[in-house]
């Protein structure tokens, strides 16, 4: 349904209800829907946001929330239509454009967010907060010069901590590290809301790292981590992470070559399409390789889509009640269940991409899929798997440097010891799986080899995927500037490859070494000992 039709329908429902618009009811229902959205109940959220729009077709919060719920359900065309309707809502106000921009930011589309914030600025050029929002989105979209211009317009109107932090980030990106450090010291010396203090501390750590002031950089990180660990949901998220790991561990460690052989003996699933999985531990170099391979004319990549989890892993593990029954449920999957999962996966992936996949190979890049590879092999036995390896010590340090919202993955990175434990578990999962999965279905790719000889590694990867060499794949830095990259590597992939991050952990050995015995097996088995 188009946004125009949806909007007209809402108005009609309001008319049938007596012609009254009830903004208070719309706000109340929207708040209830927002809670459903936060808990991942997207279907309920959609229903309630639509109810809110029935009460008030011009409720900005309801339309923005509906768009987010639709996008979270992989209905990206419908979500875009809702946000376009919000941008064009009459009267065209700065607030409606700003709401559309905020939603695009939450959906990981900074270029779209910047477009909406620009519209908001045109409607209310005197508003400082809109200029800062535009600068924030432009920097995230790698439009650095445009972000500077927006910050200049904002500074002419006023100043605040967020502006200073953004300015410092742009200074760092330009190589003006001393200037950035001085700016951030001033900001951190003032009273700040907790969220801004966390962001400023992470940015300060990045700048101090560039300046070689490693002790102070680590202290800035530790300060940010301590604040994040005070989040009211921290204990619940950590508990959820541990329960999730227990179920995944049971599935991975329980998988045997007998399971794999029995699955292989089953009748072939219909219409196999070309699928490759790019995985590994987060911060192992998956984004770099994905950006390179995405330049191939016969391949399209999905960057950290949730499609596989939503329509394959969850349905195939449904009914599992114990840590060991996930594998039982997977083993018991019927042919019709597998075919349904495959069909839904291709449909959801195409919706995520917003373009037809056609005959191209799909590269599903997602580090979180490593412990889910048994599900991959069960539903897509034809899939090829590329696993990125990187010195585990560099991986742990890089994870520790990341500022991310609290979730069952990032919660491990608020403490060095937990970060080491999480890496050790993912490494063990991969070592276990590579011993039982068909040897012609996977390869390992080293980050260090990639930065040393990008062309050689890329040729090897393409050969494994059955794709011909195309030299244009190496022009990834130019492509990255025009592509939304919804992960912490958005900035790094716009620069040529370099060895600057290889062996970086040694700068922080004093603080890391007390915990590194947990990596001994990974270091040895992956050849980094």
Q: For the segment 20-55, what is each residue's pLDDT rounded down to a tens digit?
A: 789 999 999 999 999 999 888 899 999 999 999 999
Q: Is the peptide bond before 91 cis (omega within 30 degrees of 0)?
A: yes
Main-chain dihedrals φ then ψ at residue 441, nearest 5 degrees: -105, 0
- DSSP symbols for 383-452: -EEEEEE--HHHHHHHHHT------TTGGGGGSHHHHHHHHHHHHHHHHHHHTTS-GGGEEEEEHHHHHH
Q: Is residue 406 within 8 Å of residue 231, measured between CB atoms?
A: yes
Tokens of 326: 């996930």
pLDDT at 8 over 50: no
Three-state DSSP class for residue 59: coil
Tell me if 1-90 shares its fold with 234-525.
no
Poorest-pLDDT segment among 43-47, 72-76, 289-293, 455-459: 72-76
Mean pLDDT to the nearest integer, 166-193: 96
- Highest averaged pLDDT of the listed ranges 7-11, 388-392, 404-408: 388-392
Given pLDDT bands bounded at 50, 70 and 90, which one contains residue 16? very low
Q: Which residue has the higher pLDDT, 72 or 290?
A: 290
Given pLDDT bands bounded at 50, 70 and 90, which one contains residue 400? very high
DSSP state of 176: -
Q: Give CA–CA dist 520/246, Å, rounded.
A: 22
Output the average pLDDT for the chain. Answer: 90
Given pLDDT bands bounded at 50, 70 and 90, which one contains residue 354? confident
Tokens of 124: 């209310």
Q: Give CA–CA dist 497/363, Å, rounded.
A: 21
Percent of the chain clearing pLDDT 70 (strictly above): 91
Q: Give CA–CA dist 241/374, Å, rounded.
A: 19
Q: Give CA–CA dist 150/146, Å, rounded.
A: 6
Which residues in 132-152 are b (16+ Cβ under 10 Å) and which e? bbbbbbbbbbbbbebbbebbe
- Residue that has been written with the tokens 């060095």 in this structure: 416
Under CATH, which number does the domain 234-525 receive?
3.40.50.300
Q: Give CA–CA dist 421/402, Å, rounded.
A: 17
Q: For the segment 131-156, what is each residue's pLDDT rounded down to a tens digit?
A: 999 999 999 988 899 999 999 999 99
Entry pTM: 0.88
Residues in the chain, overall count: 529
* Percentages (nearest 5) of helix, strand, coil residues in the chain: 70, 5, 25
Q: Is residue 49 within 8 Å of residue 41, measured between CB atoms?
A: no
445: closest CA among 281, 292, 289? 289
Tokens of 70: 């639709």
Using DSSP bridges, classify how beta strands 384-389 and 299-303 pair: parallel, antiparallel or unpaired: unpaired
Helix (H) or strand (E) holding 286: helix 286-293
| pLDDT computed for residue 476 by the predictor | 80
Helix (H) or strand (E) holding 455: helix 454-465
Q: For the segment 93-138, what is each residue's pLDDT rounded down to a tens digit?
A: 999 999 999 999 988 889 999 999 999 999 999 999 999 999 999 9
DSSP state of 504: G
Strand-pairing partners, residue 276, are 363, 384
Q: Is residue 373 within 8 Å of residue 277, measured between CB atoms?
A: yes
| pLDDT computed for residue 261 by the predictor | 87
Where along the chain do its domains lie?
1-90, 234-525
Q: Is residue 26 within 8 Å of residue 62, measured between CB atoms?
A: yes
Please report, to the nearest 10 degrees, the dihedral formed by the alpha carbons of residues 274, 279, 283, 285 taken in order: -50
Q: Give CA–CA dist 490/143, Å, rounded.
A: 11
Helix (H) or strand (E) holding 478: helix 476-481
pLDDT at 268 over 90: no
Q: Give CA–CA dist 314/185, Å, rounded.
A: 46
Q: For the segment 431-464, what is each residue's pLDDT rounded down to a tens digit?
A: 999 999 999 999 999 999 999 999 999 999 999 9
Mean pLDDT to the nearest integer, 373-393: 95
Under CATH, which number does the domain 1-90 receive?
1.25.40
| pLDDT computed for residue 6 by the predictor | 40
- Residue that has been written with the tokens 């349905």 in this structure: 315
Helix ranges restricted to H, 88-233: 94-106, 110-123, 128-140, 144-157, 161-173, 177-188, 194-211, 214-228
């Amino acid at each position: 349904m188009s946004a125009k039709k949806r909007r007209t329908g809402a108005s009609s429902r309001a008319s049938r209800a007596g012609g009254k618009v009830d903004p208070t009811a719309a706000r109340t229902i929207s708040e209830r829907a927002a809670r459903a959205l936060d808990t991942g109940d997207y279907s309920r959220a959609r229903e309630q946001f639509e109810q809110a729009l029935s009460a008030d077709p011009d409720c900005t919060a309801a339309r923005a929330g509906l768009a987010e719920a639709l996008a979270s359900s992989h209905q990206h065309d419908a979500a875009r239509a809702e946000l376009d309707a919000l941008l064009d809502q009459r009267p065209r106000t700065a607030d409606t454009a700003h709401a559309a921009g905020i939603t695009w930011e939450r959906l990981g589309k900074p270029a779209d967010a910047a477009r909406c914030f620009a519209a908001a600025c045109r409607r209310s050029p005197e508003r400082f907060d809109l200029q800062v929002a535009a600068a924030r989105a432009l920097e995230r979209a790698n439009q650095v010069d445009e972000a500077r211009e927006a910050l200049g317009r904002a500074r002419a109107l006023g100043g605040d901590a967020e502006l200073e932090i953004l300015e410092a980030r742009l200074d760092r990106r330009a190589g003006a590290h001393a200037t950035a450090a001085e700016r951030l010291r001033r900001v951190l010396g003032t009273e700040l809301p907790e969220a801004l203090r966390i962001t400023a501390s992470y940015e300060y750590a990045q700048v101090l790292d560039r300046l070689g002031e490693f002790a102070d950089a680590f202290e800035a990180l530790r300060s940010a981590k301590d604040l994040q660990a005070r989040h009211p949901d921290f204990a619940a998220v950590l508990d959820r992470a541990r329960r999730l790991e227990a179920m995944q561990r049971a599935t991975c460690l329980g998988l045997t070559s007998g399971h794999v052989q029995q699955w292989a003996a089953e009748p072939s699933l219909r219409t196999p399409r070309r699928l490759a999985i790019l995985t590994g531990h987060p911060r192992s170099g998956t984004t770099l390789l994905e950006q390179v391979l995405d330049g191939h004319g016969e391949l399209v990549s999905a960057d950290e889509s949730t499609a596989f989890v939503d329509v394959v892993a969850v349905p195939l593990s449904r009914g599992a009640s114990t840590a060991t029954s996930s594998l039982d449920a997977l083993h018991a999957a019927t042919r019709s269940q597998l075919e349904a999962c495959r069909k839904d996966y291709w449909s959801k992936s195409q919706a995520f991409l917003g373009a037809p996949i056609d005959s191209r190979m799909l590269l599903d890049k997602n580090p979180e899929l490593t412990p889910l590879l048994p599900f991959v092999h069960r539903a897509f036995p034809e899939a090829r798997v590329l696993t990125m390896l990187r010195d585990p010590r560099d991986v742990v340090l890089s994870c520790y440097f990341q500022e991310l919202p609290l979730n069952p993955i990032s919660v491990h990175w608020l403490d060095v010891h937990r970060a080491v434990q999480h890496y050790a578990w993912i490494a063990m999962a991969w070592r276990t799986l590579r011993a039982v999965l068909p040897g012609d279905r996977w390869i390992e790719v080293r980050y260090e080899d990639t930065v040393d000889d990008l062309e050689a590694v890329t040729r090897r990867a393409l050969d494994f995927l059955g794709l011909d060499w195309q030299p244009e794949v190496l022009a990834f830095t130019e492509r990255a500037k025009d592509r939304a990259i919804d992960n912490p590597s958005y900035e790094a992939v716009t620069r040529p490859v370099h060895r600057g991050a290889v062996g970086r952990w040694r700068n922080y050995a004093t603080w890391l070494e007390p915990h590194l015995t947990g990596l001994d097996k990974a270091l040895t088995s992956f050849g980094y000992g």
